[in-house]
């Protein structure tokens, strides 16, 4: 058997226990679960990819991964053929659409194959892709809407003690005054030497988002993430024109359509690609290149163990 041949794919599910449910402006989260996909080569090298699934649609997610597993194992692919696999499978599964779970499954496999390829060559991903920097800035994220004020302040204070230079918290309460009060308390807790970002998880409308930004401008908010629905491009343009905060989005996107639309409206300041939704390493890099062409910094969503080596290869990462 060819040493680079994909011999077998294996699927696992893992659950991280929560002491109690958490919530943002749009979702109540009862479970943090992951699906792990392993790709083994003819030489016995194993690459791994995973996706974050929470408690959503386990049967659909497992079905998408199992369908892809069967498709790949019945063909003679090598681990370096990431683009061939993507094109072939997108053609095969196009009837039910590529955006959504099909893309998640493909991306998880894509990451596993890159992992296996790097291990086969004995090199880290960032060296394979071309390194620009060795130091990547990070921030502390959390601040769930379901947190009490004490839980919120304890979390951001702990981030500061651990040396983080920025913290991000959730906003989007039904009463905007609650968001204002919590942001004010966070600024008091961390002082003026840390950046504060806020994330509405698409849970606000344009008027409330504008009102919130203007009410907390004196707190020096570093950026506002997903204030409104990701498809409301004109809404982003309106918020951008009526406020002075940087706007960030990208984590819900399965393509660069939203990035292109918002660039055309001058309505985006920070691009946040999600490597699994976008489709894997190549699609992540394509989106970062497009953002770079318009001087828009990149700071990805969630998958830090994938994103840190990728960020080491781009020039427009956000500090």
Residue 17 catalytic? no
Question: What residues are paired with 8 via a beta bridge?
Answer: 40
CB contact at 8 A, 252 and 229: no
Q: CB burial class (10 A; 0-12, 13-18, 19+) of residue 36? A: middle
Structure tokens at 229: 């629905």
Q: Which of 160, 168, 170, 173 is catalytic?
A: 170
Two structure tokens written together for 142 = 């959390």
Q: Is 170 a catalytic residue?
A: yes
Using alpha carbons, list the distances in angstroms from residue 2 to 6, 50, 146. Answer: 9, 25, 52
CA–CA distance, 80 with 10 (Å, rounded to integer): 18
CA distances from 49 to 6, 33, 79, 286 (A): 14, 14, 13, 20
Q: Annotated active-site positions, please?
A: 170, 301
């Amino acid at each position: 058997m060819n040493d680079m041949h994909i011999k077998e794919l294996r699927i696992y599910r893992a659950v991280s226990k929560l002491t109690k449910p958490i919530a943002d402006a749009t979702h109540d989260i009862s479970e943090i679960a992951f699906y792990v996909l392993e790709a083994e080569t003819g030489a016995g090298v194993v690459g791994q990819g995973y996706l974050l699934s929470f408690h959503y649609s386990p049967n659909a997610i497992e079905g998408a991964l199992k369908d892809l597993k069967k498709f790949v194992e019945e063909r003679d692919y090598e681990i370096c053929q990431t683009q061939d696999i993507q094109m072939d499978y997108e053609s095969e599964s196009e009837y039910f659409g590529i955006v959504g779970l099909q893309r998640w499954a493909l991306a998880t496999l894509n990451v596993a194959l890159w992992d296996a390829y790097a291990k086969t060559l004995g090199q880290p991903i960032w060296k394979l892709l071309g390194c620009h920097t060795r130091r990547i800035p990070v921030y502390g994220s959390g601040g769930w809407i379901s947190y009490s004020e004490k839980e919120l302040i304890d979390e951001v204070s702990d981030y500061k003690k651990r040396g983080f230079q920025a913290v991000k918290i959730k906003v989007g309460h039904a009463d905007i005054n609650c968001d204002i009060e919590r942001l004010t308390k966070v600024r008091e807790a961390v002082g003026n030497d840390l950046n504060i970002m806020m994330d509405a998880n698409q849970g606000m409308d344009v008027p409330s988002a504008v009102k919130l930004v203007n009410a907390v401008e004196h707190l020096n908010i570093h950026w506002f993430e997903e204030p409104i629905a990701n498809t409301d491009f004109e809404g982003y343009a309106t918020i951008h024109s009526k406020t002075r905060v940087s706007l960030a989005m990208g984590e819900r996107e399965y393509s660069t359509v939203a990035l292109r639309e918002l660039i055309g409206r001058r309505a985006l300041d920070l691009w946040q690609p999600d490597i699994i939704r976008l489709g894997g390493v190549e699609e992540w890099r394509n989106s970062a290149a497009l953002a770079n062409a318009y001087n828009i910094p990149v700071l990805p969503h969630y998958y830090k163990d994938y994103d840190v080596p990728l960020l080491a290869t781009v020039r427009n990462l956000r500090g």
